[in-house]
Structures are given as C-alpha cells and as structure tokens.
C-alpha cells in the first residue's frame, strides 16, 4: 500500500488483537492487486452489552485504487437475538471487499486486453 493502513474505532475500545486481524486481512488484499493506494477500516459498536442489549458491530472499509475507490459498509446484523462476534463481522466485510476487488481486477484486465486488441 502506498499509504499506511488506517483503523478507526468508534464507540468501542481499541483492541490490539482485532487491529492486528484487520491489518492482516488488508495486507492479503495486496495479493489480489499490489497497486492498492490506501485502506481505511472503521469499526463501530452499536448497543450496550452491559445494559443487557446485544453488541452490534458495523464495519466500513474504504479501499483506494488508482482512479477508483471501493467501499464496503457492513451493517450490524438485523437479528436482535444474536450476539455478534467482531472477528466474524470483520471477515464478512473483508470477504465482500475481496469479491469487489476481484471483480475490479478482472474488469481492468479485460479493459487492457480489449485496448491491445484494438491496437492490432
């Protein structure tokens, strides 16, 4: 990445373990496309577990690419009976981002292939 990985925690205490997990997931994206410019992850917690409510994690990821930005907003689960695991929610958000990135890389390759074919 051209700029360092950025991570923001909102309404939730910073977790070194979760931060490491998120950064490792971001680094894996570079295997799909090494030209990534930036990655910013925001972790938000909705609900108050100490008051008897479920914790609900919201992840948003902005991935900067040359001439493009991919955005994933992974809202909390709508199932109020489920206590969410931050790692599972983070992995769901990164899995969605990986699919978007794979699609973008495929379109870029096809665009270059088409451009080369018209030059011949």
Tell me: the pLDDT tens digits for 2-46? 999 999 999 989 999 999 999 999 999 999 999 999 999 999 987
Report d(CA 41, CA 14) in Å as an integer. Answer: 13
Report d(CA 36, CA 26) in Å as an integer. Answer: 10
Provide the pLDDT confidence category of residue 51 given band limits of 50, 70 and 90: very low
Position 17 scores a pLDDT of 95
Report d(CA 109, CA 11) in Å as an integer. Answer: 40
Position 42 scores a pLDDT of 97
Is 35 strand, coil or helix?
coil
> How many beta carbons lie within 10 A of that of residue 70, not counting itself?
20
More confident residue, 82 or 120: 120
Report d(CA 14, CA 21) in Å as an integer. Answer: 13
More confident residue, 106 or 80: 106
Position 76 scores a pLDDT of 76
Where do the domains of the chain lie? 6-119
Q: How far apart are the first and last CA of the chain?
A: 34
Report d(CA 117, CA 79) in Å as an integer. Answer: 50
Please give the full DSSP string across 70-95, using - where no structure is assigned: EEEEEPPPS-TT-PPPHHHHHHHHHH
Domain covering 6-119 in this structure, CATH number: 3.30.160.100
């Amino acid at each position: 990445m051209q700029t360092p990985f950025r991570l923001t925690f909102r309404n939730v205490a910073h977790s070194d373990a979760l931060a490491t997990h998120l950064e490792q997931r971001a680094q894996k994206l570079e295997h799909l496309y090494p030209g990534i410019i930036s990655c910013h992850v925001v972790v938000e917690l909705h609900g108050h577990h100490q008051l008897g409510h479920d914790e609900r994690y919201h992840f948003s990821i902005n991935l900067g690419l040359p001439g493009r930005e991919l955005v994933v907003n992974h809202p909390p689960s709508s199932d109020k009976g489920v206590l969410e695991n931050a790692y599972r929610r983070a992995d769901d958000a990164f899995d969605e981002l990986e699919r978007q990135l794979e699609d973008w890389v495929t379109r870029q390759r096809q665009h270059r292939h088409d451009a080369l074919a018209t030059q011949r």
